[in-house]
A = this chain, B = another copy of it.
Amino acid sequence: MADLGAAGATRRRRRATFAAGRGGSLVPMNGASAAACPSAGTAGHSGDTPGQKHGSPETARTRESLLSSESGYNNYRGILNWCVVMLILSNARLFLENLLRHGILVDPIQVVSLFLKDPYSWPAACMVIVSNIFIMVALYTERQLSKGSFSEPVGLTIHCINLTVILTFPVAVVLTVPSVTPVGGAFALGIYTIVLLKLYSYRDVNMWCRDLSRAKAKNCPAPSPVSVLLLHRTSKVCYPGNLTIKDMYYFAFAPTLCYELNFPRSPKIRMGFLLRRLVEMLFFTQLLVALTQQWMIPIIQSSMKPLEDMDLSRMMERLLRLAVPNHLLWLMFFYWFFHSSLNFSAELLRFGDRQFYNDWWNAETVTYFWQNWNIPVHKWCLRHFYKPLLRRGFSKIVSQSAVFFLSAFFHEYLVSIPLRMFRLWAFMGMMAQLPLAWFVGNFLHGNYGNAAVWISLIVGQPFAVLMYVHDYYVLPGEAYIVH
């Protein structure tokens, strides 16, 4: 109840009004003189000096409470710290409760079994090695095209067949080889999807270069001496000089999906930077595995019963309970993949363009989030899908919906095939972004829009996770299509 009239209080005082109200000298306000009494006025103004016999009889004056709207006060800086402290304490409590209830569930050996069913059969690794064939086919086709050995229609046909096989071959393997685990299958499919997008970009850029050099040849037949000089000074690679195995594999390993003849390069490998990213990668890998085993899996297991019973209020509770670890894991995954891993490979390859993500955490619209959280894919979509559609005369809204449709297709592709069941939850989750984007863009602005984006991330993902878990475990008879 009681407070402290402390030494040095005035020093820490920030609000001049309060400081003025404390001492003996008062400013008259609201027309009321601050003097206690006309007969005692002068003495009352003498202030408090040590040794004075008495205090000042009057110290109050008219003012509003800070939280009244009339006060005009709005400094709630401390509330941010409050939020952080409350979040940390709440999660510390959850962590302790989890440990007390389940003991330590972390088991690094178990992770290996997610990738391998049979230690003598490595189907996912074999598939990744096989993908080199498709890369070589694309390079060979481009070489023949540059020499004129293949005509453009022949080249297009070979590329189309190559890309179709890249898309369908891993599907066939995952669905027919029993030793492929869901995690191993998802990994292989992810690699194949990346190769697909990269080779599509490779074909597009080389075709544009042929178009450009043909147009150039028509306008001015020979390169000017100045441009040849520039060529040598900056050691730029020029089409068809880029069609080498070294260039192809640099692109295959580079952390980008958009091919360029001359990638921006950083001057040297910074060893300190490389080491920090490596430590982050190892640390977050461990943390992701540990938190999944200790936190996610017990919640998912305890959700089976409510899911079977279709107990809606309990399902809701499990959904919200799952939302926190799922979201934290997603944030860690984001940092692990988009910051640590991609920067690590970029540093190793002296790849200059490190814009793997943008400030999506400030996104006030769903569109801004999707444009900024995964820049490599966003750039690919913009350059090789959205803009070509616009050039072919499609309207913006159609092209935009087509991008979401493509994205939804790949989301479903990467989830359904490894799980060997086709439920369309991921597809619908992505397609639901379109009406959500429309709603948030039109009705919510500023911080409300930002909060809506966060809510859709925090609640939407565990919803899809629970849906797949339900279908994978609760409906095993229906869910397993192949075996």
Contact = CB atoms under 8 A, between A and B. Distances in A.
29 contacts: A1-B407, A1-B410, A2-B377, A3-B377, A4-B367, A4-B403, A6-B370, A12-B368, A29-B264, A36-B261, A37-B212, A38-B223, A39-B223, A40-B238, A53-B211, A54-B211, A54-B212, A59-B260, A59-B379, A66-B358, A67-B357, A78-B362, A85-B451, A86-B327, A89-B459, A92-B320, A93-B320, A96-B320, A100-B313
A5 B388 CA distance: 11
A273 B355 CA distance: 53
A44 interface: yes
B261 A57 contact: yes
A356 interface: yes
A260 to B, nearest CB: 5
A36 B384 CA distance: 17
Nearest to A38: B227
Contact of A43 (B212, B230, B372): B212
A72 to B, nearest CB: 13
A354 interface: yes
Interface string A10-44: 00101100100110000001111101111111111
Please indicate which of the listed interface residues A15, A79, A231, A357 has the most CB atoms of chain B within 10 Å of its own CB.
A79
Contacts of A110: none
A381 B264 contact: no
Nearest to A22: B382
Interface in A197-251: 204-205, 207-209, 211-213, 215-216, 223, 227-228, 230-231, 234, 236, 238-239
A346 to B, nearest CB: 9
Given A385-B5, A447-B81, A263 B89 contact: no
Given A7-B396, A15-B358, A32 B239 contact: no
A463 to B, nearest CB: 13
A371 interface: yes
A316 B99 CA distance: 12
How many of chain A's residues touch chain B, expressed as a range? 35 or more
Given A264-B30, A378-B4, A378-B5, A458 B86 contact: yes
Interface in A245-304: 256, 258, 260-266, 273
A3 B366 CA distance: 11
Contacts of A353: 60-63
B43 A215 contact: yes
Please give the count of copies of this chain that the complex contains. Answer: 2
Most-contacted residue by chain B among A57, A231, A411, A454 (CB, 10 A): A57
A3 B371 contact: yes
A60 B256 contact: yes
Contacts of A2: 374, 377-378, 381, 403-404, 406-408, 410-411, 430
Nearest to A390: B50
Contacts of A208: 54-57
B85 A83 contact: no
B352 A55 contact: no
Contacts of A56: 208, 383
A339 interface: yes
Nearest to A210: B54
Given A3-B373, A54-B207, A324-B90, A62 B387 contact: no
Nearest to A411: B1
A97 interface: yes
